[in-house]
Amino acid sequence: MAIDPTLSTAALTAAETAINQTLLYDPGTRLALAQLEGQILAIDVSGPALTLYLAFNRDGLQLLGNFEGNVNTRLRGKAFNLAALIRGNNTSLASSGVEVFGSTALLAKLQTIARNIDIDWEEPLIQLFGDLLGHQSAEYIRWRCGYIQARLKTGLRLGSEFLTEENRSLPAHAELEFFYQQVDTLRTSTDRAEAKLQALLARINTPPSNTSQP
C-alpha cells in the first residue's frame, strides 16, 4: 500500500528541520556539507519500500521524496541493514546487505563528516537560560555524557572479558580469527584436492591414443 504523499512529505520535512536546526550549532559540519552542494545521494529502502534523496547545500541537508535529476550515489538495502551501516563504523560494505551504485567518493566524504560531527550544545542552552546558567548546564551535560560514555565503554569491555575469559561461553576475537583462518585453509586445500581429482579422472577416462605404426 502506497503511503499518502502528505504523510511522507511531513515525515521528511520534520526530519530535515530537526537535522538542520541541530546543525545550526555545528558550523564545521554545515561548511563541510556546503562543499557537497549539487551532489545527490539516493537511498532505496526495501521493507517498507521507500526512496529518499539527500541534497546538500549551505543551509545543511535537504530530504526529498522525489528527484528527477542525476544521482551521484545510490544505496539499496533493507531498512535494518541501512540503519546498522549508519550506526556502525564499517569501512567496507561487504556482507552489510547494502548495495552501492555510482560514486563511492560521496559516501566516503559523508562518513568523514559524520565522524567529525561536534554539536555545540552550549549555545542553545545559553540562549535558553542565560550566560551563567547556560554555561554551567552545558558543563554538567558534557561531564555527565563523558561519564556515561566511559562507564558504557568499561561495562562493555568487562562484559566481553567475562563472557570470553571467565565464563568461556563465547570465543575470543583472536580465537575466532584463527578458526576462520583454519576454515579458509581447509577450503583452499579441499578445492586443490578436488581439482587434482578431476584431473586424474579426466586422464583415466580419456581413451589411450592409437600410437601403433603400420
Partner 1 sequence: MTEKQSIVDKQADHCIDQQQSETHFGFEQVNSSDKAGRVAEVFHSVAAKYDVMNDLMSAGIHRLWKRFTIEKAAVRPGHKVLDIAGGTGDLSFKFSRLVGCEGLVVLSDINDSMLKVGRDRLLDRGVAGNTQYAQLDAQYLPFPDNSFDVITIAFGLRNVTDKNMALCSMLRVLKPGGRLLVLEFSKPSNTLLEKVYDTYSFKALPLIGKLVTGDADSYRYLAESIRMHPDQETLKSMMVDAGFANPEYSNMTGGIVALHSGTKP
The site for partner 1 (CB under 8 A) is made up of: 4-6, 9-10, 13, 64-69
Cell of 61: 541537508
Q: Which is nearer to partner 1, 28 or 65 (CB)?
A: 65
Residue 59, strand partner residues: none
Q: Which is nearer to partner 1, 7 or 132 (CB)?
A: 7
**Least spacing, CB of residue 113 vs partner 1, in Å:** 23
Q: Which is nearer to partner 1, 53 or 81 (CB)?
A: 53
**Least spacing, CB of residue 47 vs partner 1, in Å:** 23
Helix H, strand E, coil C: the string for the chain is: CCCCHHHHHHHHHHHHHHHHHHHCCCHHHHHHHHCCCCCEEEEEEECCCEEEEEEEECCEEEEECCCCCCCCEEEEEEHHHHHHHHHCCCCCCCCCCEEEEECCHHHHHHHHHHHCCCCCCHHHHHHHHCHHHHHHHHHHHHHHHHHHHHHHHHHHHHHHHHHHHHCCCCCCHHHHHHHHHHHHHHHHHHHHHHHHHHHHHHHHHCCCCCCCCC
Q: Which is nearer to partner 1, 48 or 69 (CB)?
A: 69
**Least spacing, CB of residue 30 vs partner 1, in Å:** 17
Cell of 37: 552542494
**Least spacing, CB of residue 57 vs partner 1, in Å:** 9
Q: Which is nearer to partner 1, 58 or 157 (CB)?
A: 58
Q: Which is nearer to partner 1, 64 or 119 (CB)?
A: 64
**Least spacing, CB of residue 103 vs partner 1, in Å:** 20
Residue 101's H or E segment, with its range, is strand 98-102
Task: Confirm if 113 and 32 have CB atoms less than 8 A apart.
Answer: yes
**Least spacing, CB of residue 140 vs partner 1, in Å:** 36
